[in-house]
């Protein structure tokens, strides 16, 4: 089966605007075969005039993928892995198999034999069909145990093989023998196709009927095989029709402006999932509770989330490093998993964060990457580093990474303000220490409000070195304040994910389009990608659990440990299983701030920019982060 995929990222075509999109464009597709027949039938149904585009002959395969990815064609036909590659590059399926059937296009593979072989070896044919029927029944019952074997035989990854198989159906014996297939429809379709080939000059003439070419006696002779669907097991947080997913989030504390937007993105994501049928046929109930960035409150909220009657099956967000650390042991005891809104380097350590499934790299490695890249690419002359941070797992983990980079690179630390920037305290001593230090590079691990106070206070005294810091330090809304010119001049944003509407990753295009449809009037934000990818990770973990037929809390934990999360280019992919040094993420991103690109009144509907411009053409990874042998957290409060 060849599948038609379109468009290239520049044409943005869909089935709804096919005629407009394809006018004057090139279509890369075979000529004179079944795929050509399907293509013309589909385009005719979509109202596309067959003389309105240029048909470039092809036979699919790698050439079709290359033409599609280059932007030379607006539509291309391919099979198997080629289809997946084009979809990953931003393409859309013109029609699914079921949609084609609905307009009269039958899409099927056939089992063909020479007539004499059937006469001489009918028992072999029947045995083959019986084994095929049994294999189809086993696949329909529970394909999980078969996936590795299928993928290996196909020379594909399990994920790629599954994605391809999801485009197919495998009808049982009774369905194949029905009028919808071998009982008459297949013969009619063969006649239509042969008439088409006559029109195309591929064959001189067609027969009046092709009934004689379909022999159902072998299929009639085999036994039906009952499909016994393995039920999905579940315990807490899952019912026959609902999956409860939780977030303990800072909605009123020091990080609330960012976290609220992260939750907005997650909410939109789960609404999208529900609109498409949910997970395993169950609707997602997204339960959000406020921790006010307070550890005791976080613990109270956790008690509600873990409840066996009204609790959740998984936490798609747990805001805060000390907050998540406070429940880390309970997560293991309760068999509950959580994605932290925290990038503390302790989470990958199974002795500390066994049931904490981190996203992206950590504060420590991010600091290594940022200090190394800025010292090598931005700072003029020898770097002199100042470090400022909050106390605790967040601030001091980032500060430790910055100082580890300085030591490895031979950079002098002229001001060590690790733990000195205390929320709610007078920041004058920190500002004075910076101004007096002579630093030409500052690395900060604080929150946006404290950062603004320190950055603005130091700038007012003429202190204008290169600045950057761990991702939670910066909020693009600072560009709506008098600090904008100074930020434009000297600040470089570090992040774990792509900033809003940057790059051409398929995941970014998808997220922006969905949020434009669902929260068009919300302000722009870089952290939408954080909430979106938190939900992506949770979704993929739960899909794995559903595939395994085990959506108990223990089953979800097991699924997480075998899942490699595909963020579709929004962030480096994330795994959790195996040796920690094999799966820990070591890459981060760096952005230049261009204040003139930001419009404070802009909303999601308009796309726009938060003023962050991607540098280095993608994620960065320092030699230090790449070569670091992870054993435990860079910083530990104990």
Measured CA distances, 466 to 300, 383, 535 (Å): 41, 10, 34
Q: Among 327, 309, 363, which Cα is nearest to 248's?
A: 327
Q: Do 561 and 576 touch, CB atoms closer than 8 A?
A: yes
| Region 133-138 average pLDDT | 91
Q: Among 468, 536, 534, which Cα is nearest to 258's?
A: 534
88 has a pLDDT exceeding 80: no
Distance CA 29, CA 578 (A): 43
Question: By percentage, how much of the chain surpasses pLDDT 90?
Answer: 72
Query: 236: which DSSP letter?
Result: S
Q: Among 370, 396, 394, which Cα is nearest to 383's?
A: 370
Mean pLDDT, all residues of the chain? 92
Distance CA 370, CA 405 (A): 9
Among the listed ranges 48-62, 409-423, 451-465, which one has the minimum average pLDDT value? 48-62
Q: Is the dihedral of CA 567, 568, 569, 570 positive or negative?
A: negative
Q: Do 620 and 350 touch, CB atoms closer than 8 A?
A: no
What's phi and psi for 149, nearest 5 deg? -65, -45
pLDDT of residue 1: 35
Reduce the DSSP state of residue 413 to 3 states and report it: strand
pLDDT of residue 474: 96
HSE of 536, CA atoms in CB hemisphere, 13 A: 26
pLDDT of residue 309: 94
HSE of 562, CA atoms in CB hemisphere, 13 A: 17
Residue 332, judged by CB atoms within 10 A of its CB (0-12, 13-18, 19+), counts as: middle
The predicted-structure confidence for 357-399, as pLDDT tens digits, reads as follows 999 999 999 999 999 999 999 999 999 999 999 999 999 999 9
In CATH, what number does 242-361+528-583 get? 3.40.50.2300
pLDDT of residue 515: 98
pLDDT of residue 164: 81
Measured CA distances, 133 to 1, 138, 173, 175, 222 (Å): 20, 9, 7, 12, 9
Distance CA 564, CA 200 (A): 47
Q: At what angle do helices 158-165 and 147-154 cross, to 10 degrees?
A: 90
The boundaries of every CATH 3.40.190.10 domain in the chain are 3-102
| Region 24-50 average pLDDT | 85
554 Cβ contact partners less than 8 Å away, ≥ 6 residues apart? 335
Q: Give the max Cα distance, the chain.
A: 96
pLDDT of residue 386: 99
pLDDT of residue 6: 47
Quick one: which H or E segment has residue 193? Answer: helix 185-199
7 has a pLDDT exceeding 50: no
Reduce the DSSP state of residue 581 to 3 states and report it: helix
Fold of 363-499+621-627: Rossmann fold (3.40.50)
pLDDT of residue 80: 72
Distance CA 444, CA 304 (A): 35
37 has a pLDDT exceeding 90: no
pLDDT of residue 357: 97
| CATH, domain 3-102, list 3.40.50.720, 3.40.50.300, 3.20.20.70, 3.40.190.10 | 3.40.190.10
What's phi and psi for 11, nearest 5 deg? -95, -25
Residue with the bigger pLDDT between 280 and 18: it is 280
Distance CA 67, CA 74 (A): 9
CB 157: neighbour CB atoms within 10 A?
A: 14
Among the listed ranges 9-18, 89-98, 251-260, 538-547, which one has the minimum average pLDDT value? 9-18
The boundaries of every CATH 3.40.50.2300 domain in the chain are 242-361+528-583, 363-499+621-627
Residue with the bigger pLDDT between 105 and 508: it is 508
CB 494: neighbour CB atoms within 10 A?
A: 27
| Region 57-67 average pLDDT | 81
409 Cβ contact partners less than 8 Å away, ≥ 6 residues apart? 371, 372, 375, 383, 624
| Region 179-190 average pLDDT | 91
13 has a pLDDT exceeding 60: no
In DSSP terms, 319 is beta-bridged to 341
The predicted-structure confidence for 64-79, as pLDDT tens digits, reads as follows 888 888 888 888 887 7
| Region 439-451 average pLDDT | 97
Question: By percentage, how much of the chain surpasses pLDDT 70?
Answer: 97
pLDDT of residue 90: 74
pLDDT of residue 371: 99
Measured CA distances, 359 to 66, 246, 339, 538, 573 (Å): 32, 16, 7, 11, 9
């Amino acid at each position: 089966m060849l599948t038609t995929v379109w468009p290239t990222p520049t044409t943005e075509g869909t089935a709804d605007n096919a005629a407009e999109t394809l006018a004057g464009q090139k279509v890369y597709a075979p000529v004179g075969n079944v795929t050509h027949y399907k293509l013309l039938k589909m385009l005719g149904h979509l109202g596309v005039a067959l003389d309105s585009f240029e048909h470039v002959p092809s036979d699919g395969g790698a050439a079709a993928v290359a033409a599609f990815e280059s932007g030379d064609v607006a539509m291309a036909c391919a099979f198997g892995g080629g289809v997946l590659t084009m979809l990953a590059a931003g393409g859309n399926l013109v029609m699914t198999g079921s949609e084609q059937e609905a307009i009269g296009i039958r899409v099927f593979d056939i089992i063909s034999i020479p007539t004499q072989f059937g006469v001489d070896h009918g028992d072999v044919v029947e045995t083959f069909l019986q084994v095929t029927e049994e294999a189809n029944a086993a696949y329909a019952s529970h394909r999980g145990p078969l996936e590795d074997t299928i993928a290996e035989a196909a020379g594909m990854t399990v994920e790629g093989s599954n994605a391809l198989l999801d485009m197919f159906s495998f009808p049982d014996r009774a369905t194949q023998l029905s009028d919808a297939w071998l009982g008459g429809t297949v013969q009619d379709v063969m006649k239509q196709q042969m008439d088409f080939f006559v029109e195309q000059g591929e064959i001189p003439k067609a027969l009046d009927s092709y009934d004689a070419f379909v022999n159902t006696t072998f299929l009639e002779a085999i036994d039906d095989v009952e499909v016994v669907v393995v039920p999905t097991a579940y315990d807490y947080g899952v019912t026959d029709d609902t999956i409860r997913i939780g977030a303990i989030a800072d909605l009123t504390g020091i990080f609330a402006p960012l976290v609220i937007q992260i939750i907005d993105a997650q909410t939109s994501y789960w609404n999208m999932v529900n609109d498409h049928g949910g997970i395993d046929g169950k609707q997602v109930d997204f339960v959000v509770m406020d921790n006010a960035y307070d550890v005791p409150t976080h613990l109270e909220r956790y008690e509600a989330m873990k409840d066996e009657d009204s609790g959740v099956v998984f936490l798609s967000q747990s805001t805060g490093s000390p907050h998540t650390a406070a429940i880390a042991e309970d997560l293991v005891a309760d068999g509950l998993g959580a994605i932290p809104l925290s990038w503390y380097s302790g989470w990958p350590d199974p002795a500390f964060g066994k049931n904490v499934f981190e996203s992206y790299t950590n504060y420590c490695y991010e600091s290594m990457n940022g200090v190394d890249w800025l010292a090598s690419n931005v700072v003029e002359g020898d770097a002199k580093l100042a470090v400022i941070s909050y106390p605790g797992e967040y601030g001091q983990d980032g500060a430790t990474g910055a100082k580890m980079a300085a030591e490895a690179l031979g950079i002098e630390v002229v001001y060590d303000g690790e733990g000195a920037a205390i929320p709610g305290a007078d920041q004058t001593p920190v500002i004075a220490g910076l101004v007096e230090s002579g630093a030409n590079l500052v690395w900060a691990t604080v929150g946006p409000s404290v950062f603004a106070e320190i950055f603005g206070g130091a700038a007012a005294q003429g202190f204008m070195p290169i600045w950057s810091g761990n991702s939670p330090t910066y909020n693009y809304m600072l560009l709506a304040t008098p600090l904008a010119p100074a930020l434009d001049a000297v600040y470089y944003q570090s992040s774990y994910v792509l900033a809003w509407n940057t790059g051409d990753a398929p995941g970014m295009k998808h997220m922006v389009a969905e949020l434009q449809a669902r929260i068009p009037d919300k302000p722009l934000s870089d952290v939408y990608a954080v909430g979106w990818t938190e939900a992506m990770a949770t979704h993929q973990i739960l899909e794995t659990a559903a595939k395994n037929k085990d959506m108990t809390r223990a089953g979800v934990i097991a699924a997480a440990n075998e899942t490699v999360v595909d963020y579709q280019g929004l962030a480096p992919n994330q795994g959790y299983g195996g040796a920690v040094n094999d799966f820990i993420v070591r890459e981060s991103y760096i952005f230049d701030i261009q204040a003139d690109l930001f419009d404070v009144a802009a909303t999601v509907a308009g796309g726009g920019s938060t003023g962050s411009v991607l540098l280095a053409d993608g994620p960065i990874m320092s030699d230090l982060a790449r070569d670091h042998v992870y054993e435990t957290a860079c910083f530990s409060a104990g």
